[in-house]
Structure 1
Amino acid sequence: MFRRTFWFTAGAAAGVWATTKVNRKIKQLTPESLAAQAADKAIVAGHKLKDFALDVREGMVRREAELGEALGLEAADPRELPPARRPAVEAADADPHPAPAPYRKLPYHSYNRNEDH
């Protein structure tokens, strides 16, 4: 009698365990879940790529400083702004080529017939 009860209980527990495992796997394979997993992996890959780019940039700056020091070159201060550029042609007060009358901007009027007046 105890044997049958033991095996019945073991079978029921195995059935519950298998059903739970299958339901979890089915939920993982839904389109929404797959999209969320892909988005998470893309975000992680983006962070790794950004970290790699920052490491490369840091290495470039360090190597450039080493080469500048070895060659005796002095680099300009990167915080210094370049000189201001002046426009080649000064802007005139009046438009030298005004648009013809039909193409000038007119005030905006709503022509929606469904609009309340």
Structure 2
Amino acid sequence: MFRRTFWFTAGAAAGVWATTKVNRKLRKLTPESLAAQAAEKAIEAGHRLKDFALDVRDGMAQREAELGEALGINENPELPAPRRVAAIENRNDPKYRTNPTYVERSTYSHNRNEDH
């Protein structure tokens, strides 16, 4: 009698355990849960990438300081400002107005369907 009761109780406990485990897995596989997990992983990856970038920046600054000391560049902190070149020319600049080869862009037609 005790043997049957033991095995009945063990089977019921195993059934409850298996049911709860399956229900947890099913809840993890719902679209909302998967989306939340993906968002958490993306945020975590972003934080790791930011930390990596900060570490690289710190390492670069440290190495730059070491090279500056080795080359003696740190003694004269007054370096000329870096030269900046415009990537896109400003057509409203007066140097284009005085240039005889400059023609306003509005006089050119780039529409191929337009009658000539």
Tell me the TM-score normalised to structure 1 length: 0.63
Q: Distance in 1 between matches of 2:77 and 2:39?
A: 42
Alignment RMSD (CA, Å) = 1.8
Unpaired runs of 5+ residues, structure 2, are 79-92, 95-116
The equivalent residue for 2:13 is 13
The equivalent residue for 1:45 is 45
Q: Is structure 2 residue 7 aligned with structure 1 residue 30?
A: no
Q: Distance in 1 between matches of 2:23 and 2:35?
A: 18
Matches within 5 A, 1:1-117: 1-74=1-74, 76=77
Deviations 1:55-81 (A, max 9, x none): 00001001111111111113648xxxx
Q: Distance in 2 between matches of 1:48 and 1:67?
A: 28
* Structure with the higher fraction of residues in helix conformation: 2
Q: Percent identity between the aligned chains?
A: 80
Q: Distance in 1 between matches of 2:38 and 2:50?
A: 18
Q: Distance in 1 between matches of 2:62 and 2:5?
A: 73
Question: What is the total number of aligned residue pairs between the two structures?
Answer: 79
SS in 1 for 2:10: helix
Deviations 1:78-109 (A, max 9, x none): xxxxxxxxxx89xxxxxxxxxxxxxxxxxxxx
Q: Distance in 2 between matches of 1:45 and 1:17?
A: 34
